[in-house]
Structures are given as C-alpha cells and as structure tokens.
Structure 1
C-alpha cells in the first residue's frame, strides 16, 4: 500500500511538472523598455524622498494605489507620502519586466520594500504592477 501511494505521488508530481511552462528566453530590452524602467526607478527615489511635486506630475488624476489595507486615489496617496504615514524608504528591485502595448507600458517589479508604517520600520516582499501611458 505504501509503495502504491509513493508511486501515485510520483506520477502526479511528474504529470504536474510536464505541464509546467519552460522559462521564456530573456529578451533584450528596447529603448522604450529602458525608459520605462528608468522612470520607475526614479519614482521609487521620489517616493523615498517624499518629493510629492514630482510624483504629482507623474501620477494621473484617475490613478489608483492598491495597498494591503485598501486602495485610494492620487490625492490620498500624495497626502500619505507627504505626511510620512507611509514612508517608502527604499525599494530593492530584484527583477523587472516591461510589456508595451501601443502607448501603454505594464511594468512588473519584484521588490523588497523598506518602509516606515505607523512609526515602525518594516521590510516586506512585494510584486508591484505599474501602468504607464505615454
């Protein structure tokens, strides 16, 4: 019986792995990709510096910020940054990918975020989605 269970487990595991996708070949970033990546990098610096003037120019009036505790618009996000209620001290970006569709760029970042929330310094891993429209 034990041998049957182990065999069944190995068959299921093998079947699961056979359906897994092979990793995509690394592509060379285009100039547009590089520009979006640089803009995102600048945005994280502006957030750490609490530079709401530059962020105000970057963020669209209809943008939405999704947090673990809720979501809100541009005005509230800028107020949170300015007041220091959330201080995005440093984003350690481990990997990024850009997908450009027409005049829209979708950027995915795998980050560790060092932040101060409610007076407590925390580090948390995040997958961040950023959407930029030219």
Structure 2
C-alpha cells in the first residue's frame, strides 16, 4: 500500500500557522487597547485552536514534537506584533511595554501548543 499525503509538510505548516494566526488574531484585534490584558486577552477560541492544531499536526500529520509545537505556538506572538506594529504606527507612545508582552505571548504559545503536541505524540504512540 502506498501512503497518500494531503500536502507537503511546508504547505501544511503554513496553512496551520495562518489558521491559528487569524483565529487568534481576529478576537484579539477587536479588543480595545485599554482592555487588553495579557495573557487573559488570548483566552477563548484562540487557545482551543492552537491546542487542537498542535494535536493534529503531531497525531495526524506525524510532525515532530518540535515542529508541531512551534508552528501553532508562534501565532500568539505574531498576532501581538501585528497589533503593535499597526497601533504604534498610529500612536508611537502607546506600546512602550511591547517586549514584555511579546515574552508573555511566546511563553503562552509554547505552553499551550506544547501541551497539544504532547497529547498528539502520546496518542500516536498509543493508537498506532
């Protein structure tokens, strides 16, 4: 039997990242600046999608633990930086603590995606 592939690993990685980026980003970008509180502002559908995407990359597409963690995890910091770039262009003094917020977003992304990748890896070991 030959194994059928849905797409190349690069295409799957780009698609997974873009999916996570927009699903995390749209609710986050709609929050007024005064109401943003990291990491609480990321909780909701975005965390669920990053976790689930990480599980799927690890279990279904058989990505390595590192890759199935990194691809979805980077959606949080990328979403934050997109907001910082746009809002800092409009009002430069608004985002003076963005490096600290970036660290929080990176940590949150890797914790959520790492848990998902671990679940996917364990599931692959049990069910295959």
Whether these two folds match at TM > 0.5 is no
Bigger helix share: 2
Which gives a bigger RCO, structure 1 or 2 (Cα 8 Å, sep 6+)?
2
Q: Which has the larger radius of gyration?
A: 1
Bigger strand share: 1
TM-score, normalised by the number of residues in structure 1: 0.29
